[in-house]
Amino acid sequence: MSAKHVGVALLGLGVVGGGTYEILRDKRDMILKNDGVDIEVRRVLDRNSDRLKQLGAESLAARDIDEIVNDPDVDIVAEFFGGVEPARSFLIKALEAGKSIVTANKEMLAKSWRELEAAAERGGGGLYFEASCVGGVPVIRTLTDSMQGNAVTSLKGIVNGTTNYILSRMSDEGVEYGECLKEAQRLGYAEANPSADVDGFDSSYKNCILSSLAYRRRVPLDRIYREGISKINVKDIAYGKELGYTLKLLAISKCRDGRVEARVHPSFLPSAHPLAAVKGPFNALYIHGDSVDDIMLYGRGAGALPTGSAIVSDIVFAAGKDTHRRFAFELEDGGDTVISDDFSSAHYIRFDVKNEEGTLAKISGAFAKCGVPVKTVLKKDDGTLIIVTHEAGESAVVRALAAAEQLSGVERVAAHIRVEE
């Protein structure tokens, strides 16, 4: 039986696009032997002539997206531009022309999934995005093709390597946030404008995608609570260690009684938890299914070849399909079943207090009146008082903190970090 020949166009030859081109070029014979598909890069859209020359791809250069869309020998379009536009418009054109698309563009997908899915339905192609979350780690296909016997009840993930590098260094070396950020920028882990990473936007896009797949309903981006790491102090990381916790920026979602809560924020984890051991720029996703119990997927969440590996996996996967999966649930509005504010967790709170008798009792009393039970107390000689609560609703904790700040012995609430037991 003759091999199936599949033509591919690449939109962009940057770090990941170039890595993908190299994998497809160098592994073409291996993919043909192992998977029975002959994948040929036929077109490349990139205005950087030096980059085209560097990769030996000058003869593949396309003038514009229309040349690619109108080429009957291009079956799959892989996009590497990043951002929403022009990627969204180009991919909708490709989908409406019957091409399948492959993308790592989590921002575009999180914001425009509904439109992309509708265009795929009209044109008959497929929508593939394994590389959009956790780089080369196969988290998307695990959720879509390996968990059919499960109701997924929770996800917890370290899905951003920049913030994990910063928090790991703060924890291991006691270096303050600003210095760690500068080092992350020097090493290429963080952009000159690091907001997408350190303010939690990148993790929120990924949480939107992963949670929608896990619970088979639309988890809108604007219903995901988001908080970044820029206010984290090494003091709290050290106090957390003393209490048996490790700090991570987590993407979290849980499905309880038919309702989903989805959030991104710094979280203390028990130091024995598998996610606590994930260091540096590495990523991991911890999944709980009601049949399989706990699964953790770990690996490199970014980089030319790891992300290119996931892109190529999707290209090969799409090339072998005559019909494509439709994510119909994404077209349904599940926003009214997603909790965006009053979720439940335990809390770490650091107070600056005066040297007055009975301050702890007053704080505990104020918390009890608000329905927030205290679990652990750590008191220091320098006027630092740390309380860890049992699980409580977010609104109850906000009320408790406001009440505590009015107490005569309390100078201020110096830090507030959620705890995932």
Active site residues: 206
Closest Cα to residue 132, out of 89, 91, 102, 158? 102
Cα gap 298→290, rounded to integer Å: 21
368 Cβ contact list (under 8 Å, min separation 6): 374
